[in-house]
A and B are shown apart, each in its own frame.
Chain A
Amino acid sequence: MKQLLMGNEAIGLAAIQAGVNLVSGYPGTPSTEVLETVAKQNDGSIYVEWSTNEKSALEVAAGAAIAGARVMVTMKQVGLNVASDPLMSLAYLGIKGAMVVVVADDPGPISSQTEQDTRHFAEYAKLPVFDPSSPEEAYRMIRDAFDLSQKYHTPVLFRPTTRVCHACASVEVKEEKIEHKPQGFVKDAKWVIFPRLTYQNHIQIEKNLRLIAEDFNQYDGNQITETAPNTKKGVACGGISYAYVKEALNRAQTHVRLLKIGTPHPFPEELALQFMEGLYEILVVEELDPVIEKALLLVAGKHHIKINILGKLDGSMKNAGENSLESVLTAIEDFLELPKTKYEPIELPPLPVRPPVLCVGCPHRASFYAVKKAMKGQKAVFCGDIGCYTLGNAQPLDMVDTCLCMGAGITIAQGLQHIEPDAVHFAFIGDSTFFHTGIPGVINAVYNQTDLVLVILDNSTTAMTGHQPHPGTGKTMMNTVSPKIDLEKLLLALGVQSVKKVNPFDLTNAITCVKEAAQTKGVAAIIFEAPCISLFKPEKKYQISDSCTSCQRCIKELGCPAISKDSISNKVVIDQSLCYGCSLCAQICPAKAIVIGGDKSC
């Protein structure tokens, strides 16, 4: 039966059918829906958790895998950096059951800090990697990934990209499901990593990689999918770029010899040799790093094949950003010397700009505003972090001066403080990010006696990735209630000088607390507590009364999407269908012209 499945749903469903026993992960675009699918379709036999971070997720899964379970770990590409410590070692230690580590890459990037390529990571970590080109292929490949992992006792990376993860397709779904019963942990010296064991296992890993490469030569995810008579030119590609190349060839109504690589590491060398036979020029179409391109160059060099290989390294293809149908069509037309498809440019009039902004009623807006007001005229630096609140950098708030990676705001602020002790350094961090990697940074500041104002933006959810539970929410992915981790007690236990819990919408009080914290030596923490607007419905709405003087302070200082200036009457208006009743604008209005209004058109 064919079902409409998102790539991530296809991966989750296929994992269930492959007999997965445990799934752990940390949310991150574009990977999040994989674990959510398993949780949603779980009949209760699979243990599913959002872990506090990717390292925890991978280690939990590693424990289950050495007890013989089939496990899956999910994360986005930068999450793999956090999980890389356990993964690198686990590659040497090996596993007993099966472990598939789904790492979603984000060419573009559309919603990430880096354009790192997990295929490269696979090579570095000496792990096999699957690179599906469509949701259907992702569905089929997952089972192969589990089987390969079990066969060679190695973790296997599975690397879809955004256009596979978030694309939907009609997928032929099977009914049957494998039942996998874990054997249980058997004590053995092989589970304790020591230098001598690492050396011995390293030898075995290299042997296995050669064997896996042979398997991959025969694997149907790697194929010469098209040929053309007497052709001297070939195209090699992988991932979503395969889809673009197929479309481009259809559109240009032409054929070439086409190599599709579904497992870039270990590279299917024999297949590549067959592909190169008789060709004098190859175009490599891939996203992120030139992984297939370098592998083909290596094969050509090793076998003394005289061939031109065009791609990112020689500048034929762009080396940053994602490919598109249009960019691939242009590249294919250039390569095959075909007539160019022309796009007639349409001159569009000015269109509304819709930059990413904090939602109407978002508590982060109030928190940023309170800090901004409290620190007006003083030397202060605002270190941001990863989450919705990174959007606090937009005008008119302009309250994010730095952002690096998960949890880094707290520690970056400390470095800044050592160099500029006369400034007040703030670190803003969301509740989920704080649990993820924020805590060690706080300990670092307390222990090293660094002045810092820590601002935890506690909105009781993981908002940016779609509202996943975390240790502060008291809910788990197994639908059980667990005791909430109390941020205030935790901070006090870590030795933080002062901890204040404040509702940011109580603006006067919030500003006072910030001023006090800025004067405190050592680490002072403010927990701004107010729920994300997605967690409740508005109880009241505000509107502008006749006493409005059109000073536009509400517009100029808050940037709330519900408030605008009517283009005809030139009056400030609040869109009643958008207002969430947060009251922030009413609190800052110098004319007290913003009042609770009637409930119109909502």
Chain B
Amino acid sequence: MLNLILAGVGGQGTVLASKLLAQAAINRGLDVRTAETIGMAQRGGSVTSHVRIGQDLYSPLVALDTADIILGMEPSEALRCLPYLKKGGSIVVSSKFIKPFTASLPGSTYEENLIWQCLGDHCKNISVIDGGKICDACGSTKVLNIALLGAASNLRQLNLTLVDLEKAVQEILPQKIHSINLQALNLGAQSARKGETAL
């Protein structure tokens, strides 16, 4: 059984990433359950996707303390989901923060270094991906989610290979964006392999 949490901000493609993971698992003959928690806003809110792969699963939601992997499209969102991570679990996270507009209003401050410190204190297996760099290389800000999936394919726990994810991308996404997304997937995998961890 594998439990994953995907955390991001509305508009980053968190839900799509969870669909790709689920499709890759189904292609391997595995059973899947997924669910999302999305707020009322169309964009800009916290989005959490739960993905569960394996037999005898009932709940679509992952329980606290049981996630094998957190995929964070944004550092503070990854940290928000930390209570889901089990001991010894892994985090793959993009290094770029997304500021909410409330950060400019009084009484809503947060410190980036404290967020990194807390992540590092609670998880020993973190891959930090320079998602911005990969997006620049691909020429689109929209492939961050796919780059993170690529990075996650290096985790042994995931049990899905880069090839599995490539196939899911080709099945689910429209053809005209296949090449850019496959590029992002591969760049994500490479950057994680190089161990570009910033902690």
A interface residue numbers (CB < 8 A to B): 2-4, 110-111, 134, 163, 166-170, 240, 242-244, 246-247, 250-251, 324-326, 329, 343, 346, 348-357, 359-360, 388, 391, 395-396, 463-464, 534, 552, 555-556, 559-565, 567, 577, 601-602
Which B-chain residue is minimally distant from A1 (CB atoms)? Answer: B26
Neighbour of A343 across the interface among B57, B62, B83, CB < 8 A:
B83
- The reply to whether B105 and A555 form a contact with Cβ atoms under 8 Å apart is yes
- Expressed in whole angstroms, the minimum distance between the Cβ of A331 and any Cβ of chain B is 14
B64 part of interface (Cβ distance < 8 Å): yes
List of B residues within 8 angstroms of A134 by Cβ: 58, 60
- The reply to whether B59 and A359 form a contact with Cβ atoms under 8 Å apart is no
With A168-B22, A247-B58, A560-B101 known as contacts, the answer to whether A351 contacts B110 (CB < 8 A) is yes
- The reply to whether A243 and B58 form a contact with Cβ atoms under 8 Å apart is yes
- The reply to whether B42 and A359 form a contact with Cβ atoms under 8 Å apart is yes
Measured between alpha carbons, how far is A396 from B101 in the docked complex, in Å? 11
List of A residues within 8 angstroms of B103 by Cβ: 352, 564-565, 567
Measured between alpha carbons, how far is A552 from B105 in the docked complex, in Å? 10
List of A residues within 8 angstroms of B80 by Cβ: 348, 351
Measured between alpha carbons, how far is A463 from B42 in the docked complex, in Å? 8
Can you list 9 A-B contacts (CB < 8 A)?
A2-B31, A168-B32, A246-B58, A325-B64, A349-B117, A351-B110, A354-B45, A395-B105, A464-B42
B interface residue numbers (CB < 8 A to A): 9, 19, 22-23, 26, 30-37, 39-46, 56-65, 76, 79-80, 82-83, 97-105, 108-111, 114-115, 117-118, 122, 141
With A4-B26, A359-B43 known as contacts, the answer to whether A563 contacts B104 (CB < 8 A) is yes
List of A residues within 8 angstroms of B46 by Cβ: 354
Measured between alpha carbons, how far is A473 from B22 in the docked complex, in Å? 35
- The reply to whether B141 and A4 form a contact with Cβ atoms under 8 Å apart is no
Which A-chain residue is minimally distant from B172 (CB atoms)? Answer: A4
- The reply to whether B44 and A601 form a contact with Cβ atoms under 8 Å apart is no
- Expressed in whole angstroms, the minimum distance between the Cβ of A467 and any Cβ of chain B is 10
Measured between alpha carbons, how far is A534 from B10 in the docked complex, in Å? 14
- The reply to whether B32 and A170 form a contact with Cβ atoms under 8 Å apart is yes
Measured between alpha carbons, how far is A396 from B102 in the docked complex, in Å? 10
- The reply to whether B36 and A166 form a contact with Cβ atoms under 8 Å apart is yes
Which B-chain residue is minimally distant from A241 (CB atoms)? Answer: B59
Measured between alpha carbons, how far is A240 from B60 in the docked complex, in Å? 9
Known: A168-B34, A325-B63. 14 other contacts (CB 8 A): A134-B60, A166-B36, A168-B22, A169-B34, A246-B59, A247-B59, A324-B61, A325-B64, A350-B111, A353-B102, A354-B9, A355-B41, A391-B41, A564-B101
Measured between alpha carbons, how far is A242 from B58 in the docked complex, in Å? 8
Neighbour of A168 across the interface among B33, B57, B64, B115, CB < 8 A:
B33
List of A residues within 8 angstroms of B19 by Cβ: 4, 168
- The reply to whether A391 and B40 form a contact with Cβ atoms under 8 Å apart is yes
- Expressed in whole angstroms, the minimum distance between the Cβ of B115 and any Cβ of chain A is 6
Which A-chain residue is minimally distant from B49 (CB atoms)? Answer: A168
- The reply to whether A4 and B22 form a contact with Cβ atoms under 8 Å apart is yes
List of B residues within 8 angstroms of A351 by Cβ: 76, 79-80, 110, 115
Measured between alpha carbons, how far is A567 from B99 in the docked complex, in Å? 10
- The reply to whether B32 and A169 form a contact with Cβ atoms under 8 Å apart is yes
- The reply to whether B44 and A354 form a contact with Cβ atoms under 8 Å apart is yes
- The reply to whether A348 and B102 form a contact with Cβ atoms under 8 Å apart is no
- Expressed in whole angstroms, the minimum distance between the Cβ of A91 and any Cβ of chain B is 33
List of B residues within 8 angstroms of A354 by Cβ: 9, 39, 41, 44-46, 100, 102
Neighbour of B141 across the interface among A324, A353, A577, CB < 8 A:
A577
Measured between alpha carbons, how far is A4 from B44 in the docked complex, in Å? 27
Neighbour of B60 across the interface among A169, A326, A356, A556, CB < 8 A:
A169
With A247-B63, A353-B100, A577-B141 known as contacts, the answer to whether A348 contacts B82 (CB < 8 A) is yes
Measured between alpha carbons, how far is A261 from B1 in the docked complex, in Å? 27
Which A-chain residue is minimally distant from B117 (CB atoms)? Answer: A349
- Expressed in whole angstroms, the minimum distance between the Cβ of A572 and any Cβ of chain B is 8
- Expressed in whole angstroms, the minimum distance between the Cβ of A328 and any Cβ of chain B is 9
- The reply to whether A325 and B61 form a contact with Cβ atoms under 8 Å apart is yes
Which B-chain residue is minimally distant from A164 (CB atoms)? Answer: B60
Which A-chain residue is minimally distant from B102 (CB atoms)? Answer: A353
- The reply to whether A169 and B33 form a contact with Cβ atoms under 8 Å apart is yes
- The 5 A-B pairs at the shortest CB distance, nearest first, are namely A167-B60, A356-B41, A349-B114, A243-B58, A246-B58
Which B-chain residue is minimally distant from A554 (CB atoms)? Answer: B104
With A357-B41, A391-B40, A565-B104 known as contacts, the answer to whether A352 contacts B76 (CB < 8 A) is yes
- The reply to whether A352 and B26 form a contact with Cβ atoms under 8 Å apart is no
- The reply to whether B35 and A348 form a contact with Cβ atoms under 8 Å apart is no
List of B residues within 8 angstroms of A560 by Cβ: 101
List of B residues within 8 angstroms of A250 by Cβ: 56, 58
List of A residues within 8 angstroms of B43 by Cβ: 359-360, 561
Measured between alpha carbons, how far is A343 from B85 in the docked complex, in Å? 11
- The reply to whether A4 and B23 form a contact with Cβ atoms under 8 Å apart is yes
- Expressed in whole angstroms, the minimum distance between the Cβ of A42 and any Cβ of chain B is 21
Which B-chain residue is minimally distant from A362 (CB atoms)? Answer: B42
Measured between alpha carbons, how far is A561 from B22 in the docked complex, in Å? 32
- The reply to whether A170 and B31 form a contact with Cβ atoms under 8 Å apart is yes
Max chain B Cβ within 10 angstroms of own Cβ: one of A244, A246, A356: A356
- The reply to whether B42 and A243 form a contact with Cβ atoms under 8 Å apart is no
- The reply to whether B82 and A167 form a contact with Cβ atoms under 8 Å apart is no
Neighbour of B99 across the interface among A242, A352, A391, CB < 8 A:
A352
List of A residues within 8 angstroms of B105 by Cβ: 395-396, 555-556, 559
Max chain B Cβ within 10 angstroms of own Cβ: one of A166, A360, A388: A166
Neighbour of B118 across the interface among A166, A349, A360, A552, CB < 8 A:
A349
List of B residues within 8 angstroms of A559 by Cβ: 101, 105
Measured between alpha carbons, how far is A395 from B101 in the docked complex, in Å? 11
Which B-chain residue is minimally distant from A358 (CB atoms)? Answer: B41
Measured between alpha carbons, how far is A99 from B109 in the docked complex, in Å? 54
Measured between alpha carbons, how far is A247 from B76 in the docked complex, in Å? 29
- Expressed in whole angstroms, the minimum distance between the Cβ of A203 and any Cβ of chain B is 42
- The reply to whether B100 and A561 form a contact with Cβ atoms under 8 Å apart is yes
- Expressed in whole angstroms, the minimum distance between the Cβ of B37 and any Cβ of chain A is 8
- The reply to whether A561 and B101 form a contact with Cβ atoms under 8 Å apart is yes
With A354-B9, A391-B40 known as contacts, the answer to whether A348 contacts B64 (CB < 8 A) is no
Neighbour of B104 across the interface among A167, A555, A577, A602, CB < 8 A:
A555
- The reply to whether B110 and A561 form a contact with Cβ atoms under 8 Å apart is no
- Expressed in whole angstroms, the minimum distance between the Cβ of B136 and any Cβ of chain A is 8
List of A residues within 8 angstroms of B104 by Cβ: 552, 555, 563-565
Measured between alpha carbons, how far is A134 from B31 in the docked complex, in Å? 13
List of A residues within 8 angstroms of B60 by Cβ: 134, 163, 167-169, 240, 243
- The reply to whether A352 and B35 form a contact with Cβ atoms under 8 Å apart is no
Which A-chain residue is minimally distant from B41 (CB atoms)? Answer: A356
- The reply to whether A2 and B99 form a contact with Cβ atoms under 8 Å apart is no
- The reply to whether B122 and A349 form a contact with Cβ atoms under 8 Å apart is no
List of A residues within 8 angstroms of B41 by Cβ: 354-357, 359, 391
Measured between alpha carbons, how far is A564 from B100 in the docked complex, in Å? 8
Measured between alpha carbons, how far is A273 from B79 in the docked complex, in Å? 48
With A388-B42, A564-B101 known as contacts, the answer to whether A348 contacts B118 (CB < 8 A) is yes
List of B residues within 8 angstroms of A243 by Cβ: 58-60
List of A residues within 8 angstroms of B26 by Cβ: 2-4, 170
